[in-house]
Amino acid sequence: MSAPIIWILLPFVSGALILLLLGEKYAAYIGGGIAAFLAMIALFVPIDTALLIGSVSIKIAPAIQVFGRSFELVTADGPLLAVLYGLAALWLFGTEASGTAHRFVSLGLMIVALLTASIAVEPFLYAALLLEIAAMLVVPLLVPLYQKPGKGVVRFIIYQTFAMPFILFSGWMLAGVEASPGNLSTTIQSGVMLSMGFAFLFGVFPLYNWIPQLMEEASPYAAGFLLWALPTFTVIFSLGFLDRYTWLRNTSQIANAIFYSGVIMTATSGIFGALQRHLGRILGYAAIAETGLLLTAIALKTPDMVSIVFLTLIPRGLELSVWALALSIIKRRAYPLRFSDIQGMARKYPIAVGAIFFAHLSIAGFPLLAGFPSRLALWQELSLQSLSASLWVFIGLLGLLISALRTLAAFVMAKEDTKWEMNESPIQTVMLGIGMAGLLVLGMFPQSLQPIISNLPALFQHLNQ
């Protein structure tokens, strides 16, 4: 048995079978169980290492050939696969509580499998094609059957499609740069093409205008899954680019472009988020701000850069899943999700409102919550490189904090005689409770992530030098 079959083919086929054979009742549990099982295998069974169980020897081969292309997952990929499939399991288990189980579970497994293939494929430029296929599979999640897609969905697929040729052309040009590194014009052209491709993938300012629109049009849980999955794998893909082509990271113009793009994304999205009066748009701007923090971390000139990136990336999946699930619960009662429609919801859905507030504060970097350790580590390094950039990042996070307080104020606005109720179902209460407990645990005990994070830099050996 090879690693690509276990972590790529198995979840993809499982997703297809769930779509064809299972009803909505059991889809969430089976899909989430499969993802959790794959995460446990990745955590405890090393790749390309023989294990002796009794008289039986088991070894997971690292690679497989498909149509002349190699898909390879090495030993160092084990912790990464455990993180990715563990977070995917969290999203899939939550579909039962959000009421989006059937298509979400099947397509979600297939999307995660394709995105995993994007970090395993060789030549690695084929990852751009796999990212595009995964983006297309996201569309059925966002748009209900027999409904015309909105502007946000259309812009999303257009921008993702624009990214692919830029990355493919830049990869072709990078081969020429390796052959003749002294050719300055080719180096500049390949750097510009690559920057444009990743600008579309990440939604760099001002290309993130589709995200707030999408959050108004689509299901909060489906859109939240998109905002977790694609940026997460794009970050890993971009780290692979920088690790493979060291001159990219050592080129000051490219490093500065990544750095200031991240700072501008964080600052502008925080400011815009503070001015919003729609809960979905606020979640969209918060996700943009966190992507900006990831770009800023990628551009840090420190050996701990990879660790800071993953310290930001891992809690992000928990924050977005808790926030999106709580929003999907409230949206059933206040469909437009505007401040005028959610007034008094704190007395009707106290658990969901508390979950939104916790997740919002965590992304804003509030102490004792999951997002705080990564913000603290980022600020420590950022302050040594640029005080002005630190100030703008602080302004962006302050904007997120202001939007959290405005959201809470809208939730608690109610008449004095309004009764307190709990309209969340038991499964919704359990899922939100687990999510909020996870945010607190990761905030108060960030060292709990150390066994995983300490092994992840081995994936990008040149970036730690």
Q: Does residue 176 register a pLDDT over 80? A: no
Residue % of the chain over a pLDDT of 70: 93
Question: What is the pLDDT, as a whole number, of residue 284?
Answer: 92
Question: What is the pLDDT, as a whole number, of residue 57?
Answer: 67
Domain ranges of the chain: 1-122, 148-464
Q: Quick one: pLDDT band at residue 129, thresholds 50, 70, 90?
A: confident
Euclidean distance between CA atoms 121 and 398, whole angstroms: 40
Q: Does residue 179 register a pLDDT over 60? A: no
Q: Quick one: pLDDT band at residue 307, thresholds 50, 70, 90?
A: confident
Q: Does residue 344 register a pLDDT over 60? A: yes
Q: What is the pLDDT of residues 62-91, one digit of tens each?
A: 778 777 778 888 777 788 888 899 999 999
Euclidean distance between CA atoms 301 and 281, whole angstroms: 33
What mean pLDDT is predicted for residues 145-170? 83
Question: What is the pLDDT, as a whole number, of residue 287?
Answer: 93
Interacting residues of 154 by C-beta distance below 8 A, sequence separation 6+: none
Peptide bond before residue 140 is cis, with ω within 30 degrees of 0: no
Question: What is the pLDDT, as a whole number, of residue 358?
Answer: 92
Q: What is the pLDDT of residues 389-445, one digit of tens each?
A: 889 999 999 999 999 999 999 888 877 777 888 888 888 899 999 999 999 999 888
Q: Does residue 361 register a pLDDT over 90? A: yes
